[in-house]
Amino acid sequence: MADSTQTLAGPPQAAKKPQSFTRHGVTVEDDYAWLRDAGYPEVTDKEVLAHLEAENQWFEGRMAGQQGKIDALFKEMRARIKEADKSVPQKDGDYLYWIEFEEAAEYKKWWRRPVGARDDGSADELILDEVALAEGKDYFNLGAISTSANGKLLAYSVDDNGSERFTVHIKDLVTGELLADEIPGTLSALVWVADDKGLVYSLANEQWRTDNARLHWLGQPLESDVELYHEDDEGFRVGSSLSANEKWLLIGSSDHETSETRLVSAADPLGEQILVKPRRKGVEYDVDEREGVLYIHTNDTHENFRLATAPLANPGEWTTLIEGTDAFYLTGTDLFRDFYVVEGRKTVGAGAGLDRIEVRYYDDPARVEPISFPEASYSAGLANNPEWHVTTLRLTYESMVSPSTVYDYDVAARTLDVLKVQEIPSGYDAALYATERLEIVARDGTPVPVSVVYRRDRVGAGPLHLYGYGAYGISIDPGFSTTRLSLVDRGFAYAIAHIRGGDDMGRAWYKAGKLEKRTNTFNDFVDVAKGLVERGFTAPGKISISGGSAGGELMGAVINSDPDLFGAVVAHVPFVDVLNTMLDDTLPLTPGEWPEWGNPIEDKAAFELILSYSPYDQVKAQAYPPLMVTAGLNDPRVTYWEPAKWVAKLREVKTDRNELILKTNMGAGHGGKSGRFESLKETAEEFAFILWQLGIEG
């Protein structure tokens, strides 16, 4: 591997402080448990902070020799971004709304103008200025934002340290002043009700769990806020929204496999709540309403979901409107006044795994109008369509070679009108690139889809970057990326492994990578890498890989099992201390995560399985590939000590001298630094590390 000038005497090695616990008759050693500050979420332990700072210094020292490459990468990545840019205005009520970035700005501004006003700037109204709100802050994240139905009030929430505990503010759009109403500690959408006199939100409790839906009356003290619903199951989370016709407040509660919904009149949020159907383990559903009929999207009879209807007067009496099938994964429905839209993915045959959008009609169930797109591999979906009565639909589309495109789809004419194509100021010629949708057979005989993009002039088995996630039923779509071009233009092929654990190929695909089948996810990723070698895309040791959060767990698992396959690894906020986290029910996410990973507290088999793959617990005395790890001190999702403990243990036992560096953002959380250019710098660091370790200059 390439080397850089070493500026410190050696990498920091955390002190070993032997600690162990016994569960289900198995004793587990954990010499680095002390890196968890006992006062968390406050991190004040001087020894812990000193170790994290030492790791940051080591990171900076090892990366110092790559600063020229980082700067060059950042410059070219930034040159692909249209700095002064705006979204396509969208009508909502009496106004057209859009967002806008100014030249060199890290954050956006939110604008509107009255419908029918001249598009010359004279009627434009700045309703929220993120640039001003973020001024002087190391971190800034706008959470929820919601305009009242009458257009006179704006509710928004802000997190300024990465902890994902947001403070709500309410702005009078007539006067421009902030109201005295301020709600700290939220983690939710903001929903206007009761003729814009009330705002529904959810507080995060001490364990960062949203177990409530609350109503705040404007002008009243927070102490008088009303709890509309409280969830007693610590594994469930509560969220609120409006029905598409805005007549109903929908209060939902769910974990990763079970849900239930209540409706209450948005005009009378303190009125009688209608429980659609009581929760039943393993059954998920979401609801909307039109003309006294409920439309229920549910997996109660088929894992790929069906669409059912029920009379509002008898909400638990469900009648199938669209059957669930093995061939189509129905991911969601959107109701409009005169038609509804079905979104999903085919799961068999040509086009399997790709997005499909269909327009359907209430009065003619047999009338199905799919929206066609031009490429064989792509990502497409509904964009923001806030109004109930529409004749056109706003859509987004992209592929691994086609920049993001915004369309209006004329429902009657069935035509697509291009409104905006992502502009790349430094230049981009799609004809120089090719994309493929491959299938690579995993060790158990399952074909795993893989999306690949590369330059057409690429020759031979060159470097390849492989990305994966594989958890929570989250699909990784084959979309466009301007940053990715910095690798592809240097001879890389870039591949996305659509591994089990995501729902890329339907709900069964998700189930085949969770709980007792979790190791399928790791095996799929390794087998895809080997399959890409066999197909001549690359060679062992020329593969760089990356993943974040649960995808960071994936990184840890595959370098434990197949370290020689990979030449550089980047693990962002990696969920690697799986066993300890799932055993600790005081942590924010743990009880809600048991349906995904298993409950090792009560279930011996789950304990043994998680122990067998948990990356931290399975670190062994072997050579590991070069590894870059990131963490966030304020991250409530993957706590900072998981990557810190993992790196400490790797430093202790690994037998190689390859790079191992850890960077902890001391003022950020799960998503890293905020701001469009600050976050871009972190991507430039990541790519510079990959190029350095693969020995690629330029």
Instruction: Give catalytic residues, as residue numbers.
Output: 549, 635, 670
CA distance 403 to 400: 8
Residue 281: burial class (beta carbons within 10 Å; 0-12, 13-18, 19+): exposed
Instruction: Give the residue among 8, 15, 99 at the shortest CA–CA distance from 51.
Output: 15
Distance CA 594, CA 582 (A): 7
Token pair 């009243």 is found at 220
Angle (CA) 248 252 254, round 5°? 165
Contact 26, 608 (CB under 8 A): yes
Cα separation, 501 vs 569, whole angstroms: 21
**Integer CA distances (angstroms), 651 to 2, 428, 644, in order:** 19, 42, 11
DSSP state of 16: P
Q: Using CA atoms, how far apart are residues 494 and 581, in angstroms rounded to an integer?
A: 32
Q: Are 101 and 108 in contact (CB under 8 A)?
A: yes
What value, to the nearest 5°, has the Cα angle with vertex 219 and ends 213 and 221?
A: 65
Partners of residue 217 on adjacent β-strands: 198
Q: Is 532 helix (H, G, I), strand (E, B) or coil?
A: helix
**Which string of DSSP letters, residue by residue, matches 488-522?**
HTTT-EEEEE--BTB-TT-HHHHHTTSGGGTHHHH
Determine the Cα–Cα distance for residues 659 and 627; give it in Å rounded to an integer: 6
Cβ atoms of 178 and 128 within 8 Å: the answer is: no
Query: How far apart (Å, rounded) are the C-alpha atoms in residues 112 and 90?
Result: 9
**DSSP SS3 for 167:** strand
212 Cβ neighbours under 8 A, 6+ residues apart? 202, 203, 205, 227, 229, 230, 231, 238
Alpha helices in 541-675 (DSSP H): 550-561, 578-583, 590-597, 604-613, 641-653
**What is d(CA 387, CA 389) in angstroms, rounded to the nearest whole number?**
6
Q: Six-digit token pair at 637?
A: 């999702």
What sign does the CA torsion over 278, 299, 524, 355 have? negative
How far, in Å, CA of 616 to CA of 162, rounded?
25
